[in-house]
Amino acid sequence: MNESGRLADQLNRALNGEAWHGPSWREVLDGVNAQAAVQRPVPNGHSIGEIVLHIVNWHDVVRRRIEGETPDVTDDQDWPRAAFASETEWKATTQRLFDTGRTLSDTIARFPEERLQEERGNNAGTWYQLLIGILQHDLYHAGQVGLLKKAAVTVPA
């Protein structure tokens, strides 16, 4: 496996399990319902739902950058407001997290290894820095969600 494949594998593990660091996104979101997803157990902090939407957006932005686009990210895109009208809507949102993650992982796996140390331009660093950065970003926010999940008020179904 080349370095691009290893990076893609690590993103898959961060999303789906068998990661060394601890719970994956799939594990940390298990049992989170729509009501818990919009709670703010930390005053002025983000909700689980907002963090999930944030990750979905950044999966797409990084994929598009790898594919040659230069998308700008507005504040509203960076941190979308989270409101879920139903459990179905929340489940669809979490599914988008895994769908965008899989698409990004596939894109990373196809990225030419010989280009990883190539500068991206505009002082944006190398492609490797972008790819390892999105992995670190996913792990950081998964940890936040784990803590928010523990702090959320549990309401019996």
Q: Which of 36, 16, 12 is nearest to 25 (CA)?
A: 16
pLDDT of residue 19: 79
CA distances from 92 to 46, 49, 52, 86, 122 (A): 20, 12, 11, 10, 36
Domains of the chain: 3-151 (1.20.120.450)
Residue 114 per-residue DSSP state: G
pLDDT on residue 20: 80
Task: Measure the CA–CA gap between 15 and 94, rounded to whole angstroms.
Answer: 11
Q: Which of 151, 139, 156, 138 is nearest to 43 (CA)?
A: 151
pTM of the model: 0.93
Tens of pLDDT, residues 124-151: 899 999 999 999 999 999 999 999 999 8
pLDDT below 50 — which residues of the chain? 156-157
Residue 120's Cβ-count burial label (10 Å; 0-12, 13-18, 19+) is middle
Cα–Cα distance between 75 and 57 in angstroms, integer?
A: 11
Share of the chain above pLDDT 70, in %: 97
pLDDT at 154: 58
